[in-house]
Amino acid sequence: MVKRFLARHRQAILQVPPHRTIKEHREEYLMMAADLLVHEAITPELCRKCALHTVKFHAAAI
């Protein structure tokens, strides 16, 4: 997902504004991709599966 986002914005990523460093500029795009795509990646079903998976570890720790 992130790779697709970065590929779609490749030209903008390569055009670094004069007042920014390459690192800052690219970091901004990575953060933008993460912020936008985390809502697609984390679903209620994934949360349920993770919760069920960790229950056995919680029970063993108690």
pTM over 0.75: no
Q: Residues with Cβ < 8 Å from 26, sequence gap 6 or more?
A: 13
Q: Are 46 and 38 in contact (CB under 8 A)?
A: no
pLDDT of residue 26: 94
pLDDT of residue 18: 94
Give the mean pLDDT of the chain. 88
Which one has a higher pLDDT value, 27 or 40? 27
pLDDT tops 90 at residue 56: no
How is 1-62 classified by DSSP, letter by letter? Answer: -HHHHHHHTHHHHHS--TTS-HHHHHHHHHHHHHHHHHHHH--HHHHHHHHHHHHHHHHHH-
- Mean pLDDT of the 8-35 span: 94
Spatial separation of the C-alpha atoms in residues 45 and 4, rounded to whole Å: 23
